[in-house]
Chain A
Amino acid sequence: KAGVTQTPRYLIKTRGQQVTLSCSPISGHRSVSWYQQTPGQGLQFLFEYFSETQRNKGNFPGRFSGRQFSNSRSEMNVSTLELGDSALYLCASSLALMNTEAFFGQGTRLTVV
């Protein structure tokens, strides 16, 4: 069974641009969560999607958004990139909402210059 797949693995963007990151969950998993990991702030919850609906959102500005498709694949978008958005973005999938077993992908390393 394939694990959680995140693409791309690495990304370099310029301040002011926007970026879209993709996450394909484990087959059969319907819940996808996103986390931002930085040296200063650690791991912080961005949002969770289940059945194409955002169920919970962390304390991030509106520049951070996401969506989930009918096949459970999820994308997150960051608009008007700032230097502080440089981070490792991790996606986790679970069988169902509030399921305690979360499986993580290898992340997308975003660098904003």
Chain B
Amino acid sequence: AQTVTQSQPEMSVQEAETVTLSCTYDTSESDYYLFWYKQPPSRQMILVIRQEAYKQQNATENRFSVNFQKAAKSFSLKISDSQLGDAAMYFCAYRSAWGQGAQKLVFGQGTRLTINP
């Protein structure tokens, strides 16, 4: 079974600075997807960024980028120019590319990010 670990329960950063959230995962599969979701106080999970395991190039979405290290099974999220609206719980998630595992997301425990003005 796949597992996802986020070792930082809480992080804080000054507004306009850069912060990196860590995520490691365990799998024996070679084909899968990785995600970062954001959950603000409204509770709705919002997809921030996604990475296909077969792609070597790291995904980027505006101020959000990932550092995907497949051999190390590491998937960190970098938020540049942090804004007050970035404050939320961030979840790293794994999804298999094939089979029954492709029908579910496996989440880490989350990292609570605080932005200091």
Interface residues of A (CB under 8 A from B): 31, 33, 35, 42-45, 48, 55-56, 58, 88, 90, 92, 97-98, 100-107, 109
A42 lies within 8 A of B110 (CB): yes
Number of B residues, CB within 8 Å of A? 22
8 Å CB contact of A88 from B43, B47, B91, B105: B43
The docked-state distance in angstroms from the alpha carbon of A106 to that of B41 is 10
Most buried by A among B33, B37, B44, B50: B44
The docked-state distance in angstroms from the alpha carbon of A98 to that of B44 is 21
| Known A-B contacts A88-B43, A92-B45; A98 and B103 likewise in contact (beta carbons under 8 Å) | yes
Interface residues of B (CB under 8 A from A): 33, 37, 42-47, 50, 91, 95, 98, 100, 102-110
B103 lies within 8 A of A55 (CB): yes
| Known A-B contacts A56-B100, A100-B95; A45 and B106 likewise in contact (beta carbons under 8 Å) | yes
